[in-house]
Amino acid sequence: MDFLLNVLAIPKDDAVAFTFFTGYMAMMAASVFFFFERSRVDGKWKLSLLVSGLITFIAAVHYYYMRDYYLATGENPTALRYIDWTLTVPLMCVEFYLLTKVAGAKKALLWKLILASVWMLVFGYIGEAFNPEGGSTSHSVMYGVLSTLGYIYILYTAWMGEVAQLAKDSNNPAIEKSVRILAWFVLVGWAIYPIGYMCMPGGWLNTAFGWGSSNVDLFYNIADAINKIGFGLVVYSLAISQSKPSGTAAA
Question: What gap in Å lies between CA 193 and CA 163, rounded to an integer?
Answer: 22
Q: CB–CB of 34/232 below 8 Å? A: yes
Residue 181 lies in a domain: yes
User: What string of pLDDT tens digits covers the 251 residues of the chain?
Assistant: 444 445 445 666 688 888 999 999 999 999 999 999 999 999 999 999 999 999 999 999 999 999 889 988 888 898 999 999 999 999 999 999 999 998 889 999 999 999 999 999 999 999 888 877 666 778 888 999 999 999 999 999 999 999 999 999 999 999 999 999 999 999 998 988 877 777 776 665 666 555 555 567 888 898 899 999 999 999 999 999 998 775 444 43
Domain of residue 110: give its range: 2-241
CATH of residue 81's domain is 1.20.1070.10
Amino acid, res. 121:
L
Alpha-carbon torsion, ordered 102, 106, 111, 116, to 10 deg: -80
Q: What is the pLDDT of residue 4?
A: 42
Question: What gap in Å lies between CA 199 and CA 142, rounded to an integer?
Answer: 15
Question: What gap in Å lies between CA 247 and CA 173, rounded to an integer?
Answer: 21
- Sign of the CA dihedral running 149, 150, 152, 157: positive
Q: What is the pLDDT of residue 12?
A: 66
Q: What is the pLDDT of residue 55?
A: 98
Residue 202 lies in a domain: yes
Q: How many domains does the structure of the chain reveal?
A: 1
Q: What is the pLDDT of residue 224?
A: 93
Q: CB–CB of 48/95 below 8 Å? A: yes
**pTM of the full structure:** 0.88
Q: CB–CB of 93/116 below 8 Å? A: yes
Residue 15 lies in a domain: yes
Residue 248 lies in a domain: no
